[in-house]
Structure formats: C-alpha cells, structure tokens
C-alpha cells in the first residue's frame, strides 16, 4: 500500500473510514485530515480540511474535494473520538464548525460529501456518537441532569435518511 499524499502534523486530527463500494465490488478507505492552527500563528487563517481515498483495486491514494452545501468555507473538524459509521452506502462522521456539530457523510459510489444537520434538542449533550439502531442511522447523546446528579442517554433515530 502506498503512503497517503497528505502529510499531517501530530496535532492535526486524522480520521479514517473503511467502506465497500457495491457498484464496483471494491473497498475504499477515506482519510480526512483536519489541520490545527499553527502555534506560531494562532490568529492565522483556518486551513481547510483535506481528504483522500485509497482504492483497493488500484492500490493507490488520490485526493478528493470536500464540498458540502454550506455557507461556511470548510467543514471545520471531524471529532477524532467520534465513531465512523458505514450506512446506506456512505461513511458518516460527526463534524463541527463555528455553527455547531453536524453529520458529514461521504457517498462511496460517487465520492461526494454531504452535510446532514443534527436536531437542535440534542446539541447540548456532552458526548455523542453515531450508530445504526434498528436499521436506521442514529445519534446517541449522553448528557447530565445536574439537578438529580444523574446521566441521561437519548437516542435520535433518522426515520427518513437525510432529513432531520
């Protein structure tokens, strides 16, 4: 296997996802690199995230364009503690910008990125992850009920894929 083209600093967030492309009967690895600001320029401009795909059949890496329908110039960063879920022909990650977290999906067949909003009610939780629950994409959020000194676990299930 060739080494990925995008070099990352140890402080950058690197996220990997493994997927099966049913149309071409091939496996792909998506590598997302979300760059941190340079310590020498903490007030410098944000660097856009970069992505590349490894295809098993060609044994090669190539860059892919990260573009989502959004007013923001880049995806911000992908939570490195977030699980990557392969569901409905796409890889799914929790990503975040200044406007808050969202689901970043990568369609394996056409290699396009999409942004799926998370429900506002669940954005206050302090820990969340993606899962497949009863055959549907789900977002599991753990939050704390300070008044009762207890933890609450909510499961949001997307009944119609792509719609909040």
Summarised one tens digit per residue, pLDDT across range 86-118 is 999 999 998 877 777 888 899 999 999 998 888
Summarize the confidence of residues 136-155 as an average pLDDT.
Answer: 82
Q: For position 91, what pLDDT does the model report?
A: 96
Under the banding of pLDDT at 50, 70 and 90, the label for residue 65 is: confident
The mean pLDDT value of the chain amounts to: 79
Asked if residue 52 has pLDDT above 90, the reply is yes
Q: For position 96, what pLDDT does the model report?
A: 79
Q: For position 99, what pLDDT does the model report?
A: 77
Structure tokens at 118: 């998370």
Write down the domain spans for the chain. Answer: 13-117
Higher pLDDT, 48 or 65: 65
Higher pLDDT, 120 or 65: 65
Q: With left for phi above 0 and alpha for psi between -120 and 50, is residue 161 left, alpha or beta?
A: beta
Report the 10 Å Cβ neighbour count for 151: 11
SS3 state of residue 80? coil
């Amino acid at each position: 296997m060739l080494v990925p083209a995008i070099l990352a600093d140890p402080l950058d967030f690197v996220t990997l996802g493994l997927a099966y492309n049913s149309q071409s009967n091939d496996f792909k690895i998506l590598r997302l690199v979300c760059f941190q600001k340079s310590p020498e320029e903490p007030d410098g401009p944000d660097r856009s995230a970069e992505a590349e795909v490894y295809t098993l059949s060609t044994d090669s890496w190539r860059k892919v364009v990260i573009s989502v329908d959004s007013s923001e110039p880049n995806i911000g960063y992908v939570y490195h503690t977030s699980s990557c879920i392969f569901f409905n022909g796409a890889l799914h990650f929790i990503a975040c910008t200044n406007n808050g977290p969202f689901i970043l999906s990568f369609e394996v067949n056409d290699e396009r990125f999409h942004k799926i909003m998370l429900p506002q009610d669940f954005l206050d939780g302090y820990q969340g992850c993606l899962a497949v629950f009863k055959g549907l994409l789900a977002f599991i959020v753990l939050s704390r009920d300070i008044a009762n000194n207890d933890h609450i676990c909510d499961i949001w299930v997307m009944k119609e894929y792509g719609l909040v």
